[in-house]
Amino acid sequence: MDGIIIIDKPSGPTSAEIVRRVKSRLGKRARVGHLGTLDPFATGVLPVLIGEGTKLAPFLQEGEKEYQGLIALGVETDTLDRTGGVVRTAPLPALNADRLAELAAQFTGEIEQTPPIFSAIKREGTPLYRLARRGGEVEPPPPRRVRIVRLELGVADASTLCFSVLCSPGMYVRSLARDIGVALGSAAHLAELRRVRSGSFTIAQAQPLDRVIAAMEAGTDPGLIGLRQAILDAPEVEVDAATERRLRHGDSRALDGLAPPGAKLFKVIARGELAAIANTTSRVTATIARIFGDGAAL
């Protein structure tokens, strides 16, 4: 089995646990991974890469992410979400449409953001969340530049905001919740989070985890997206058997003259299947970025 399954991650298990559950149905030798970690309490789009699909990760992980959720006001937690311990409280702010529109504009575009202490960012090889759980004071990671393409804020009730955000990879929604609380002169933490898009994959394509597992156990299609269909925004070039053989021997010169003008990447199709992904260096030449399959049928 080679490709991608879009799972609607339930609240509770970690993203790594979802991978383990899928892998257990495929066997110990199966290669399985995921794109874009979701916190355990979060739900939504989790692309799971299987077999040769794991080779697609470098070409998919930079896609924009879209989230929806709730921000609880008046309380900040150490994890910046509902699972953490309270570290600060503050009066609830006055909320109105004009103030929220100003706030959304303030956080739209390129912004500087300090990631949470409870994160997978490593310090001297150890994830910060492990250091934080040991107790004691942990220095926050340095601020980083992130991009928010669109942010919409609304009032759910007197102590809760609802939101929708489209952002660059690497943006922490938990940090955004904290910073919104500070900007309102209050405190805040992330109460609910659902990812509705990751790159080109949407919640409409996502399958519930139990349905995916049941399909795999029954030997039926679990909603697998094939390698060729997984990258939609790259042009395709079809090659003959002789060119495919050269590519599988690492000869990038086989791509001379095949690079589509203006494309950063393109898919090389052989015998109807994805044989390789290439990086375009000019309108004439390209280099092999990744080869798929073993070419046993050649």
Residue 298 has pLDDT above 50, yes or no: no
81 is catalytic: no
Correct CATH for 234-291 of 3.30.1490.20, 2.30.130.10, 3.30.450.30, 3.40.50.1000: 2.30.130.10
Q: What is the largest CA-CA distance in the chain?
A: 71
Task: Look at residue 124 in the predicted model and tell me its pLDDT.
Answer: 62
* Backbone Cα Rg of the chain: 22
**pTM, two decimal places:** 0.89
Q: What is the pLDDT of residues 1-16, one digit of tens each?
A: 899 999 999 999 999 9
Is 69-160+173-190 a CATH 3.30.2350.10 domain? yes
d(C-alpha 129, C-alpha 114), whole Å = 15
Correct CATH for 3-63+200-226 of 3.30.365.10, 1.10.260.40, 3.30.1360.70, 3.30.2350.10: 3.30.2350.10
Residue 156 to residues 71, 117, 161, 271, Cα–Cα distance (Å) = 9, 28, 5, 53
Question: What is the four-CA torsion angle of 42, 17, 118, 89, rounded to 10 degrees?
Answer: 40
Choose from 117-131, 195-209, 249-263 the range with maximum mean pLDDT.
195-209
Task: Look at residue 139 in the predicted model and tell me its pLDDT.
Answer: 74
Please, what is the average pLDDT of the chain? 91
Same fold, 3-63+200-226 and 234-291: no
- Res. 47 pLDDT band, cuts 50 70 90: very high
Single out the catalytic residue among 39, 78, 98, 251: 39
Q: What is the distance between the terminal CA atoms of the chain, rounded to a whole angstrom?
A: 20
- Res. 263 pLDDT band, cuts 50 70 90: confident
Q: Contact, 205 vs 194, CB < 8 A?
A: no
Q: Contact, 140 vs 114, CB < 8 A?
A: yes
3-state secondary structure of 227: helix
Task: Look at residue 119 in the predicted model and tell me its pLDDT.
Answer: 65
Q: Contact, 149 vs 167, CB < 8 A?
A: yes
Residue 248 to residues 12, 68, 105, 245, 278, Cα–Cα distance (Å) = 43, 43, 50, 5, 13
3-state secondary structure of 179: helix
Q: What is the pLDDT of residues 109-124, one digit of tens each?
A: 999 998 887 766 766 6
Task: Look at residue 29 in the predicted model and tell me its pLDDT.
Answer: 87
Q: What is the pLDDT of residues 55-88, one digit of tens each?
A: 999 999 888 999 999 999 999 999 999 999 999 9
Per-domain residue ranges of the chain: 3-63+200-226, 69-160+173-190, 234-291
- Res. 177 pLDDT band, cuts 50 70 90: very high
Task: Look at residue 89 in the predicted model and tell me its pLDDT.
Answer: 97
